[in-house]
Amino acid sequence: MSRRPIQFTFGMAIGAALAVLLAAIGCTPEQQALWDSLTPEQQSAVLADAAAKAAPTDCYGALHHFPGDRATARQIIHRESRNNPAAANTSSTARGCWQLLMSLHSWRFTAVGCSPSEWSDPVCNTKAAAHLYNAAGWSPWRY
């Protein structure tokens, strides 16, 4: 009988490292017991969900905060900022992933728990855009 060596995937290594890190940063005994009660599949699902919600570095990565159609949203982000969260229009107050007009929509950042100064944060910009979308649909981005 021949034995195949166990091959670890990158995802398994990341998952294991994250599990060790979470245990090391001070889980309570109750949290550790809950984690230990999960099946390996459930643990993997929890880790995958946490990774998906990690702070994105680009506009597309923040789309899980947007309620509208993702394909349309990606097209608008590409047109408005080329997926650059720090995009700033030099001839207007349009800023960020969605090129929100800060002169009109800075209050939306506060409404979603962000500061207007966080316009270049892709999550904050997307949450503010979602706030606008919920009020006006796609119309602010049509031209």
**CA–centroid distance for 143 within its chain:** 27
Note the pLDDT tens digit of each residue in 69-93: 999 999 999 999 999 999 999 999 9
**Per-residue model confidence (pLDDT) at position 16:** 63
85 with 106, same domain: the answer is yes
- 41 shares a domain with 97: no
Residue 25 is encoded by which pair of tokens? 């940063």
What SS3 state is found at 95? strand
pLDDT tens digits, one per residue of 111-125: 999 999 999 999 999
Of 134, 135, 119, 142, which is closest to residue 59 (Cα–Cα)? 119
pLDDT at 143 over 80: no
Residue 4 belongs to a domain: no
pLDDT band at 21 (very low <50, low <70, confident <90, very high): low
Looking at residue 23, its pLDDT comes to: 58
**Residue 119 to residue 98: CA distance in whole angstroms:** 10
pTM of the model: 0.65
Looking at the structure, do residues 47 and 64 belong to the same domain, yes or no? Answer: no
Chain centroid, CA 61 distance in Å: 5
Q: With bands split at pLDDT 50, 70 and 90, how would you rate the model's confidence at 27?
A: confident
Q: Is residue 31 part of a domain?
A: yes
d(CA 41, CA 85): 34
Looking at the fold, whether 66 and 120 belong to one and the same domain comes out as: yes
User: Do the domain assignments include residue 3?
Assistant: no
pLDDT confidence of residue 31? 87
10 half-sphere exposure, CB direction, 13 A CA radius? 0
Same-domain pairing of 34 and 64: no
Report the percent of the chain where pLDDT is more than 90: 62
Residues 129 and 81 both lie in one domain: yes
46 and 111: one domain?
no
DSSP state letter for 57: S
Least reliable range by pLDDT among 11-15, 58-62, 102-106? 11-15
Per-residue pLDDT tens digits for 41-58: 998 888 887 776 677 889
* β-bridge partners, 95: 88, 100
For 3, residues 6+ apart whose C-beta sits below 8 A from its C-beta are: none
**pLDDT confidence of residue 13:** 59
Residue 1 lies in a domain: no
Q: What's the confidence (pLDDT) of residue 22?
A: 56
Q: How many domains does the chain have?
A: 2
Q: In this structure, is residue 120 part of a structural domain?
A: yes
Where residue 132 sits, what CATH number does that domain have? Answer: 1.10.530.10
Residue 62: φ, ψ to 5°: -95, 0
Domain that holds residue 73: 60-141
User: Do 37 and 71 share a domain, yes or no?
Assistant: no
